[in-house]
Structure 1
Amino acid sequence: MTNLSILDAVPSTNCIYLVLGEIHCTHLLLPSPMAPPPFSLLLPLFVFLFLQSCRLSTSALPSLAKSASLSVENPADVLVSPSGAFSAGFFLVGNNAYGFAVWFSQPPCSGTDCTPVWMANRQAPVNGRRSTFSLLDSGNLVLTDAGHAGGEVWSSGTSSPSAAQLRLNDTGNLVLADDSGVVLWQSFDSPTDTLLPQQPLTRNTFLISARSRYNCSTGFYKLYFDNDNVLRLVFDGPSISSVYWPFPWAQSSQLGRFLYNSSRIAVLDPLGRFQSSDNYSFSTSDYGIAAIQRRMTLDFDGNLRVYSRELGSTSWTVTWEAISGIPCFIHGVCGNNSLCSYDPAKGRRCSCVPGYVPKVLGDWSAGCVPNFTFSDGCVADEIRFVKLLYIDFYGYDYNTIYNTTLEKCRQTCLSLCNCRGFQYSGSLSDSGSTTFNCFPKIELLNGHNLPSFTGEFFIKVPKNKTFTEDQLVKRTQYTCSPATEVILDRTYAKKGKNGAVSFMLWFACVVGGIEIVVVFLVWFFLIRNQQDVTSVHQSYLLAATGFKRFTYDELKKATRNFSQEIGRGAGGIVYKALLADDRVAAVKVLSNATTGEADFLAEASTIGRVNHMNLIEMWGYCAEGKHRLLVYEFMEHGSLAQNLSSPELHWKRRFDIAVGTAKGLAYLHEECLEWVLHCDVKPQNILLDSDYQPKVADFGLSKLMDRGKVTNSDFSRIRGTRGYMAPEWVSNLSITSKVDVYSYGIVMLEMVTGISPTTSVHSLESGGDAKQIRLIPWARSKMMEPGRTGSRLQEMVDPVLKRDYDLKKMEILIEVALKCVEEDKDARPTMSQVVEMLLRHENND
């Protein structure tokens, strides 16, 4: 609180000295040293004392105590570190918009010339009038905004019964500590886009870039420790997410990264040496110079850089960067269906691939869209492929085909309706010979022009589309204008004052307030009984569910307004979320949940009680108005469908997935309190955790059945996904747990062969003409060929495994899968029998 005191009253000079802090002094002359002053003269004094006691801020404070505040309207209201190296206060981020930030203040700077290193309210700038940053009597730091409906836009969430002070250290750390020195909160624990020397990056902290050069709000790039304990950079865009540093095509062990250390900590020291627990380290180009300012910043362009400057200098120099010379390797630079090219003189440029145009002019992150249409993406007579030179698109391959011909690669992409094009490139095999591989692309992302790239890319376009040679080859000569930067603008109305109008306004407010109170009292007594009944009913339902009930606003905030989609299906869309307790979650927004709240909670209660290591765990739900959402644990490696073509999914992991999935389904069918049928077993509903262990998802959304019934007439609608559905769904037979067994068998065949039952598949065996095949008959015919166990399996097994598998176990897995897909449901085993067959053979080894 402001230190306001009356130091002295000196009758001989008729003065009262009022000292405010150390710099303000006011003299009030009194008419007589002996007579009491008249009220007319005391009134201004009392008003002055009252106003000054209400002012809770001072200038250039070394600390902030309880009940004190900093005001946005006083530019001198700042906290300053002991040496003056850092300052903390309101920082201009737009038109009449401010963030509460820490910045470098040596050498002295002002406005946007300063370099911020931390900000409390990146996403919610505050008004330039009447906004304050306060340390409350409770020990909570609060940032309030006069233009915000709720007032509070940020808080530290702390409390302290004893005295507490907020100080800014010379390291740039803003620390709230109690009177015994215990740290209650510190800015080093919640970095924004910058890491300062001696500030640790841990498993619970990360850097997130700014949105653009002039927009401090949260961007799309993130530095964090992944679940394998490796420090990574990831592009976390509105619709996709992909790691780009270390380069994802290289094994972490090959790069010297150490996976087997769970400490997860990285620090930049004051001399310019960076060290991480994953064995990654580097030294800046000016390493060893102590008297210098440094910062590590994840810039809005996705590159991680260390900046340095000499004391007294106003300009920063880049002394290290994560990606040097190849900035187009940073993902998300140019969006879908576009290419990034780099010129050292002009920097990065974006352009659309031939046949495509920008989706949003001036915003390359939105990508490009085709300026043509197909009547059907699978009509061969309408399609041709155009070759692009020196072009590479990373990721989003559909079932990579190794050691194949260009024609077979073209036919594969032609048969896939959603194939945008394909890459055909050679690689050296272990024997020294060159083999050519096919990479059909379902999305054209992370495209860049690379003159050293020797492969070829073929894009799918209509036959009547023509292009010039410039469009197809000279990709380094783009002159696309850079995206326009718009300064963040948040304007608040600044109204003038009028006494008469103010009085009428206050009078109207008082009358309106009285009316509202009367109406409220009437409403309260009319519906009080109804509220009591509803409250009791909801308490009963919450007790039954046993997990958290989220509000829609909580989940909307946790998912960043449902911006990062990670999956979708017939049941709804799944979004990635960060809950208030820092747990990463998956939030499913149900699209066809039309049941009432009580019925929905009853169904959610049953799902929430299911607990098995191979079933996804549900953490909570939301049933608010028309909204129906479920909150699950987040699986780091996504779905089995996303990993089928990944070399990380080696043979042992695939066999473990087969066993784990069977165990999860067996638990649903035979061990739950209620008999649960999944009804939609497919690779998209088998999720993989950090160790690639499977967890079955979406198991409670189709139907919950009573254990005592083997059929249920309520299954009047066909459920499941084409290609994975059992024959019972279309033949009007009774629905039992054997429908899940059939779907499981299809999934296992797909995982082993790499052939999807949902698309047109062609036989590409050497020496034969391409022809359409059906997965189950084809697999049965292969297994029935006598005396060719080894060779027939080689023809069946997904080439991505490169013949690196256990021959006996592979044959057993295929045989079990074929038993599961018998037409007669009574001939199929139960899921517990499947588990027994797989484990029996494994134990016999």
Structure 2
Amino acid sequence: MGRATGSTARYLGFLFPMAFLLYVNHAWLPVGATTQELLRGFTATPDPTASSFQPLLHNPNGTFSLGFLRNGSSQLALAIVHVPSSEPVWLANPTRWARWSKPTELFFNGSLVLSDPHTGVLWSTRTDGDRLLILDNGNLQIQKLDGSGSVLWQSFDSPSDTLLENQNFTVQMYLVSSNGLYSMRLGDDFIGLYAEFKAGLDQVYWRHRAMEERGHIVDGNGSIYARISPNGFLGMYQTETAPIDVQAFKTFQRPISGIRRVRLESDGNLRGYYWYDSKWVSDFEAIDEECELPNACGSYGLCLPGGGCRCLDNRREYSSGGCFPQESGDFCNVRGENDAINYWVLRRAGVELPFKELMGFEQMGSLEECESSCKSNCSCWGTVFHNVSGFCYAVDYPISTLVSFGDGSKIGYFKVRKIKEEKKRGVGVAGGVALLVGAVLIFVGVAGFGTYRMWRRKKTGHGIFMEEQGLSHDSYRELLRSSSFGAVELCKR
């Protein structure tokens, strides 16, 4: 009995340090350390010495890593990074950045939670899991350790701006560009790209409808989903039997050794890449003409096919970002002095909307009728009228890029806010007047002072001597009174 008790004590003495080490390995990570699995009790805070990315968890082959990604000097995002390229492929909360400081904390208590004491919980998976790990395909999962291996949450179900190979993209999901201006969503039978030119209004600017060549959409058989195939295409599916559409990449049916991905870029284009020889190689572009991008030349810009950007207003020189300040909202309840409408009108012939086939239109009898419909509508920013067809396209959002068209049969009518322009002009005029008045006053003062000095010199002959020596009349009298001056001997020569 004594020997058994001693053996038990030795066994427990060995077990407890091992359990403690196992807990430390998962619950706290020293600077620069990573692991392939995180268990309940894990916590981490930003390391001030990390320059761009602080890894916390990696997948078995080391291709992907979860950690803190720096944004500037003071912000961070929880991100999954493709390690060989240092490119983020997933962000936990792209619209809300945390602070890169010690109060910010990531912890796993069944839910993966990013928080700080000032703002509270910034992001959470809202789960009750047991472990966190990254699969070799880049999918971050929270699993239950109850023998079933059930997945409670995964990053593949909430993408940010990127889809990875074999990641299903469903009608409940959307991609959002890093600047938040563009999104990708699925319809009943198409993939669409949308621009949020105005709050609450999404304008579709690219649409790819399923060709249904290999399979057909069956009503009642579930929604469609999209997926990047290792064989080099973006496919749309309703079931796993056959794709209903295949959008081929350049490497279609060509084997490659690296992984594939597509990303919704900050210019609004959807591009595909594959990893090869230490770099991402471009393999697909949804929009291959620059002028067909939703805002290639900025606000009130004019895109010339193959010829760069200009301004709709010929008097302005184009600069990167647009020709007039980027506005928002509409013209409702926006009035100037004396209740005057606070905009001016810019007209331009030979212009076209870059995605007019995806916009609504009305057929009207004349250009005047088309323009009048916009003038009387405070939510309208402009129109493009086709003289030949009579189609009138209304633009219900701030004017972005237009496309140059060969002849004058397509005429644009655009409203431009003049609030900022008038203020700048008023400030400029006021400043010019103030400078002119100041210059006149200075001139009069200098001239008057010079005249006074000449008059004084003529009145007192010795004044010239004193002023040339830098002495005033008062200082000269003080000099006469001084004892040192009385000791000066005067003599004739």
TM-score, normalized by length of structure 1?
0.38
Matched, 1:246 2:204: no
Matched, 1:304 2:270: yes
2:316–2:323 Cα contact (<8 Å) kept: no
Of 281, 291, 295, the residue aligned with 2:246 is: 281
**d(CA) in 2 for partners of 1:221, 1:318:** 20
2:301–2:311 Cα contact (<8 Å) kept: yes
**d(CA) in 1 for partners of 2:234, 2:28:** 41
Matched, 1:413 2:388: no
**d(CA) in 1 for partners of 2:143, 2:284:** 35
Of 74, 78, 87, the residue aligned with 1:96 is: 74
CA shift in 2, pair 1:115/1:352, >3 Å = same
CA shift in 2, pair 1:151/1:7, >3 Å = farther
Higher RCO (C-alpha under 8 Å, 6+ residues apart):
2
3-state DSSP class of the match of 2:156?
A: helix
Query: What residue is the counterpart of 1:149 in the other structure?
Result: 118
**d(CA) in 1 for partners of 2:41, 2:373:** 70
Alignment length, in residue pairs?
372
2:303–2:401 Cα contact (<8 Å) kept: no
Of 444, 448, 459, the residue aligned with 2:402 is: 448
CA shift in 2, pair 1:394/1:360, >3 Å = same
**d(CA) in 1 for partners of 2:38, 2:217:** 43
TM-score, normalized by length of structure 2?
0.63
Query: 1:449 corresponds to which letter in structure 2?
Result: V
1:275–1:282 Cα contact (<8 Å) kept: yes
Query: 1:264 corresponds to which letter in structure 2?
Result: I
The Cα shift of 1:90 comes to: 0.9
3-state DSSP class of the match of 2:386?
A: strand
Matched, 1:208 2:172: no
Query: What residue is the counterpart of 2:40 in the other structure?
Result: 66
CA shift in 2, pair 1:202/1:265, >3 Å = same
CA shift in 2, pair 1:294/1:424, >3 Å = same
3-state DSSP class of the match of 2:178?
A: strand
Deviations 1:701-742 (A, max 9, x none): xxxxxxxxxxxxxxxxxxxxxxxxxxxxxxxxxxxxxxxxxx
Query: What residue is the counterpart of 2:105 in the other structure?
Result: 132
**d(CA) in 2 for partners of 1:56, 1:449:** 56
Matched, 1:233 2:211: no
**d(CA) in 2 for partners of 1:235, 1:192:** 16
CA shift in 2, pair 1:102/1:399, >3 Å = closer
CA shift in 2, pair 1:398/1:277, >3 Å = closer
Query: 2:90 corresponds to which letter in structure 1?
Result: W
2:362–2:393 Cα contact (<8 Å) kept: yes
**d(CA) in 2 for partners of 1:95, 1:286:** 39
**d(CA) in 2 for partners of 1:295, 1:188:** 13
**d(CA) in 2 for partners of 1:87, 1:277:** 30
Of 400, 413, 428, the residue aligned with 1:459 is: 413
The Cα shift of 1:56 comes to: 1.7
3-state DSSP class of the match of 1:292?
A: coil
**d(CA) in 2 for partners of 1:80, 1:298:** 25
2:169–2:225 Cα contact (<8 Å) kept: yes
**d(CA) in 2 for partners of 1:122, 1:308:** 23
Query: 2:124 corresponds to which letter in structure 1?
Result: S
2:297–2:320 Cα contact (<8 Å) kept: no
The Cα shift of 1:201 comes to: 0.2
Matched, 1:170 2:144: no
1:394–1:447 Cα contact (<8 Å) kept: no
Matched, 1:221 2:193: no
CA shift in 2, pair 1:364/1:64, >3 Å = farther
The Cα shift of 1:235 comes to: 0.7
Deviations 1:463-497 (A, max 9, x none): xxxxxxxxxxxxxxxxxxxxxxxxxxxxxxxxxxx
Query: What residue is the counterpart of 2:326 in the other structure?
Result: 366
1:299–1:305 Cα contact (<8 Å) kept: yes
The Cα shift of 1:446 comes to: 5.2
2:305–2:403 Cα contact (<8 Å) kept: no
**d(CA) in 2 for partners of 1:297, 1:151:** 31
Deviations 1:41-84 (A, max 9, x none): xxxxxxxx9xx799722522010011112332285652111111
5 Å matches for 1:152-551? 152-160=121-129, 164-179=130-145, 180=147, 181-211=149-179, 219-226=180-187, 228-239=188-199, 240-246=201-207, 252=209, 262-277=222-237, 279-287=244-252, 288-311=254-277, 313=278, 315-325=279-289, 327-333=290-296, 338-342=300-304, 349=309, 351-353=311-313, 366=326, 388-392=349-353, 400-401=362-363, 404=365, 408-411=366-369, 413-414=371-372, 417-418=375-376, 420-426=382-388, 436-439=389-392, 441=394, 443=396, 445=399, 447-452=401-406, 455-459=409-413
1:423–1:457 Cα contact (<8 Å) kept: yes
For structure 2, list consecutive stretches of 5 or more residues without a partner in the other structure.
1-9, 239-243, 417-493
Matched, 1:57 2:33: no
Q: Identical aligned pairs, as a percentage?
A: 21
Query: 2:37 corresponds to which letter in structure 1?
Result: S
Larger Rg: 2
Query: 2:39 corresponds to which letter in structure 1?
Result: A
**d(CA) in 2 for partners of 1:254, 1:437:** 31
1:235–1:332 Cα contact (<8 Å) kept: no
The Cα shift of 1:293 comes to: 2.7
CA shift in 2, pair 1:409/1:367, >3 Å = same
Matched, 1:85 2:85: no
Query: What residue is the counterpart of 1:118 in the other structure?
Result: 90
Query: 2:247 corresponds to which letter in structure 1?
Result: F
**d(CA) in 2 for partners of 1:329, 1:376:** 39
Query: 2:173 corresponds to which letter in structure 1?
Result: T
Deviations 1:625-679 (A, max 9, x none): xxxxxxxxxxxxxxxxxxxxxxxxxxxxxxxxxxxxxxxxxxxxxxxxxxxxxxx
CA shift in 2, pair 1:121/1:53, >3 Å = same
The Cα shift of 1:7 comes to: 12
1:61–1:77 Cα contact (<8 Å) kept: no
The Cα shift of 1:101 comes to: 0.6
Query: 2:193 corresponds to which letter in structure 1?
Result: L
1:393–1:446 Cα contact (<8 Å) kept: no
Query: 1:60 corresponds to which letter in structure 2?
Result: T
Query: 2:60 corresponds to which letter in structure 1?
Result: P
Deviations 1:143-167 (A, max 9, x none): 123xx5233211100014xxx1101
1:398–1:440 Cα contact (<8 Å) kept: yes
**d(CA) in 1 for partners of 2:218, 2:296:** 32
Deviations 1:276-305 (A, max 9, x none): 138332222123223113211000110000
The Cα shift of 1:206 comes to: 1.2
**d(CA) in 2 for partners of 1:280, 1:398:** 26
Query: 1:341 corresponds to which letter in structure 2?
Result: C
CA shift in 2, pair 1:55/1:412, >3 Å = closer
CA shift in 2, pair 1:342/1:367, >3 Å = farther
The Cα shift of 1:318 comes to: 1.3
